[in-house]
Amino acid sequence: MTAAADAATPATTAPTAPALPPFVDAAWLRDNLGDVVVADVRWQLQGPSGRDAYEAGHIPGAVFVDLGADLADITTPDRGRHPLPSPEAFAAAMGALGIGDSDAVVAYDAAGGIYAARLAWMLRAVRRSAAVLDGGMAAWGESLEAGPGTPRSASAFTAVPWPAEAVATIDEVAAGADARSGEACVVIDVRAPERYRGDAEPIDPRAGHIPGAVNVPCMAHLGSDGTLLPSDALRDQFATAGVTSAEGAIVYCGSGVNACHGLLALEHAGLGRARLFPGSWSAWSNQPDRPVATGDRPG
């Protein structure tokens, strides 16, 4: 089942709204370590796997979450490199990891949260309590636990359809409008500027960006220490690109992973909740009939 189909499915009763803010700091996590499920979502395109990094050393008690297996469906050209899994597959993965309906989750990685945000956003989208550890592994500053970890007991995690207010279709992105209201909406590309401009494209078949999209790189949300910039600085970044509210906005990246960091940054900045285009550039660029813009302007 596709994300679009899921969004159209009548929603079942969802758990309570997220109690955690989008980001928590290491001091908070140390004080609340026994009250949350800590999730290690380290991942990278090349080099050692996230699992290898986890076994070399992780926050004590953390479970390893495989981004490719647990947080994405099978890659297809029309759906992109990391399409959202079906609600049933996501629920099964979370339950098997020992993450239940009532658990609060804090996710971390070693890249400023740009991968961990995928898990936190997915959980928050279906009204679970989840946050990203601000600064990730570098901010933890305490001893680590090596080895495969101790599995948590399986838990009950209810499958909830991906809400229409959380995901956007490729046709909505193309129109720059919300199909529910007909209102125009801003499209935000959080990839690095050189990929947005089309100077380089190391992964996908065409270089450039979706016409009309503005560029607010997710890595620019981080300071030199890898932690999130203050809320007012984030608001200034978005405002410079013409984004003063997340209402109706749609966010994309290369494959729908880093975009989740942008979504949480918007929320952290006090601008509200935007929607994810799950297929992102990997889906758009694989469809020859979709136009492409280049350069540093929306086009």
Do 88 and 203 share a domain, yes or no?
no
Q: Which domain holds residue 250?
A: 170-284
- Is residue 292 situated within a structural domain? no
Cα–Cα distance measured from residue 21 to residue 129, given in angstroms and rounded to the nearest whole number? 9
Do 134 and 181 share a domain, yes or no?
no
Do 117 and 177 share a domain, yes or no?
no
Do 116 and 182 share a domain, yes or no?
no
Do 117 and 13 share a domain, yes or no?
yes
- Is residue 99 situated within a structural domain? yes
Go through 237-267 and write b for each residue having 16 or more CB atoms within 10 A of its CB, e for each that does not. Answer: bbeebebeebebbbbbbbbbbbbbbbbbbbb
Do 72 and 20 share a domain, yes or no?
yes
pLDDT of residue 1: 34
- Is residue 151 situated within a structural domain? no
Task: Tell me which residue has tokens 């929306």.
Answer: 298
Residues annotated as catalytic are 253
Do 179 and 135 share a domain, yes or no?
no
Q: CATH number, domain at 258? A: 3.40.250.10
- Is residue 146 situated within a structural domain? no
Do 259 and 178 share a domain, yes or no?
yes
pLDDT of residue 8: 36
Write out the two tokens for 150. Answer: 């101790």
- Is residue 296 situated within a structural domain? no
Do 92 and 187 share a domain, yes or no?
no
Boundary residue ending a domain (96, 118, 140): 140
Cα–Cα distance measured from residue 192 to residue 130, given in angstroms and rounded to the nearest whole number? 26
Task: Tell me which residue has tokens 């796997």.
Answer: 49
pLDDT of residue 44: 85
At 104-121, the pLDDT tens digits run: 999 999 999 999 999 999
pLDDT of residue 17: 62
Do 194 and 128 share a domain, yes or no?
no
- Is residue 129 situated within a structural domain? yes
Do 99 and 189 share a domain, yes or no?
no
Strand locations in the chain (E) = 23-24, 37-40, 63-64, 104-108, 129-133, 187-189, 214-215, 250-252, 275-276
At 176-194, the pLDDT tens digits run: 999 999 999 999 999 999 9
Boundary residue ending a domain (122, 140, 158): 140
pLDDT of residue 46: 73
Which segments of the chain have a pLDDT < 50? Answer: 1-11
Do 263 and 136 share a domain, yes or no?
no
- Which residues, 6 or more positions from 31, have their beta carbon under 8 angstroms from its beta carbon? none
pLDDT of residue 13: 61
User: Based on the structure, what is the number of domains in the chain?
Assistant: 2
